[in-house]
Amino acid sequence: MTAFLHNFVNPEVLQVALPLILEGMRVTLLLTASILPTGILAGLALSVLRTRQSRFLNFFIVVFADVFRAVPPLVILILIFFALPYLGVQLSGFAAAWLGLSLVLAAFSEEIFWAALTSVPRGQWEASRATGLGATATLRRVIFPQAIRLAIPPLTNRAIAIGKGTALASVIAVPEILNHATNVQAQTANPSPLTLAALAYLALFLPLVVASRWVESRFRWKR
């Protein structure tokens, strides 16, 4: 037990790491708050575009969604941060992490929204159009309110996963929680900062998990 406490709950090391971890929490929170609306809204926009039934447009949307769901997010971040400068596009670590993870979330969100939209019975479209509503009004007033209930559970789970995925930004020098924790660990030769990092992630994302359960219960279908 003494060895465990020395290696994972070392007071001296934790005292050194705490201010840096708190700064990392601020960056992680800011990065997550930037990614979630961008990715979700982009995914929603792409799913709505797919309802237009343009084969040309749908082909590119499907390719985009499949590629960014198939490639590991870490690979995407590395390519954006290290490869784009060769094309004349230089992004900061924060901007590269925001762009890469937003694209990943957009790909997953698009598929989630599209699955929800196509799960609404076709008769709902036909009945709405028969009353004189146009395609846009049908989607906004009839289809989307039903689809959003189906989309919320997988969407909240994906949002939480992307939020935790901000830890990947540590490999491109974004000063978030894990980046600071590993730096202090290397300097002190003690893994106690990783324990503090785990507690920091728990403090940030446990409320999001609880909130997601409330949202799911609020919007679920009543039996």
Domains along the sequence of the chain with CATH: 2-219 (1.10.3720.10)
pLDDT at 105: 97
For position 65, what pLDDT does the model report?
A: 96
Express each pLDDT in 130-141 by its tens digit: 777 777 777 777
Q: Are 162 and 35 in contact (CB under 8 A)?
A: yes
Structure tokens of 5? 């406490």
Instruction: Report residues of the chain scoring pLDDT below 70.
Output: 219-223
Q: Are 21 and 198 in contact (CB under 8 A)?
A: no
**Dihedral over alpha carbons 28, 32, 33, 37 (to 10 degrees):** 170
What's the predicted TM-score (pTM) here? 0.89
Task: Determine the pLDDT at residue 219.
Answer: 66
